[in-house]
């Protein structure tokens, strides 16, 4: 996805993004571990948030879970963190 000036719209996944830091901390506190962030090649509703300048992070807790993305019985969970 590109912004109005033609630049790619990508949500930062480092300490400069407070939403990423909150997600990372919550996963660590729960005893989990985050893998390397990836760009999801298909699309999610996050594209609408990013298009208007809001950061969006999709989260799929796939550890010890069958990978059923786009399977006949697809199961995904996505959390969107929005400021007040």
Q: What is the pTM of this model?
A: 0.61
Q: Report the pLDDT value the prediction gives residue 22, as an integer from 0 to 100.
A: 92
Higher-confidence position of 30 and 64 = 30
What is the domain partition of the chain in residue ranges? 1-84
Higher-confidence position of 73 and 51 = 51
CA–CA separation, 76 and 68 (whole Å): 8
Residues of the chain with pLDDT > 90: what percent? 13
Higher-confidence position of 61 and 67 = 61
Higher-confidence position of 63 and 8 = 8
CB-based contact 78:44 (threshold 8 Å): yes
């Amino acid at each position: 996805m590109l912004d109005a000036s033609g630049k790619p719209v990508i949500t930062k996944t480092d300490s400069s993004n407070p939403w990423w830091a909150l997600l990372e901390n919550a996963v660590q506190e729960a005893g989990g571990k985050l893998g390397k962030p990836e760009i999801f090649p298909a699309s999610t509703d996050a594209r609408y948030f990013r298009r208007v300048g809001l950061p969006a992070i999709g989260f799929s807790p796939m550890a010890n879970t069958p990978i059923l993305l786009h399977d006949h019985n697809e199961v995904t969970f996505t959390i969107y963190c929005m400021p007040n």
